[in-house]
Chain A
């Protein structure tokens, strides 16, 4: 399955880029984050993140579809 991943804030800094296309065996956002965290040494635990799929908040165990865009959302700090 091919996915697009976008990175923001501390995750963008740690990944060294703002987005990528990825061929992955992951079928759920949780599996995808675990894969990327291990590969790139991302510092944030999944329990501290939210996830968005196709520009809307999503569940960690929501099935992903080919072509989806996934965004992992670090703890926010607006205001």
Chain B
């Protein structure tokens, strides 16, 4: 992981390692977000899911989001990482960490980064259900 970078990872995310890398470089407040694979989506039991990404553009856009957060909020450093591949219930799908001198900007920057990742970064999720066919999340009904 790099400070002030967004990364796509094919291997399990290790928050403790990421946290200590960030804390080595910033001091004061630290806020992190972990997105976990949950066992249901809109009422349907989920068995497994697969994330895929358009990696080059995902990492470019993710880097831009982090640069925007550094510009907008009084934060000292930030990093984010998103898994791809087959994930199991409880696995970490995404991690965001932000360090700052004070807690307010750290919360705000972390929230901004995860919201923008979900909205802008070309990553897709394919869910397998206990009942019914697999589905690409947000792509049903022609994507409308």
> Which A positions have Cβ atoms within 8 angstroms of B?
6, 8-10, 13, 43-45, 47-50, 52, 55-57, 71, 73-79
Contacts and interface: CB of A to CB of B under 8 A. Distances in A.
B90 interface: no
A55 B118 CA distance: 19
Contacts of A57: 57, 61
Contacts of B39: none
B60 A55 contact: yes
A16 to B, nearest CB: 15
Interface string B59-78: 01100000000000000000
A77 B56 CA distance: 17
Interface in B35-94: 35, 51-54, 56-57, 60-61, 82, 93-94
A77 B93 CA distance: 11
Interface of B: 35, 51-54, 56-57, 60-61, 82, 93-94, 114, 117-126, 136-139, 142-144
Contacts of A55: 56-57, 60
B35 A9 contact: no
B142 A10 contact: no
Which label, helix, strand, loop or mixed, suits the secondary structure of the B interface? mixed
Given A9-B139, A56-B57, 15 more contacts: A8-B52, A8-B53, A8-B124, A9-B52, A48-B143, A48-B144, A52-B54, A74-B143, A75-B138, A75-B139, A76-B138, A77-B138, A79-B35, A79-B114, A79-B118
A10 B137 CA distance: 10
Contact of A56 (B60, B121, B136, B142): B60
Contact of B142 (A9, A45, A50): A45
Contacts of B125: 77-78
Nearest to A78: B123
B143 to A, nearest CB: 3
A52 B124 contact: no
Contacts of A13: 136
Contact of B126 (A9, A47, A73): A9
B143 A75 contact: yes
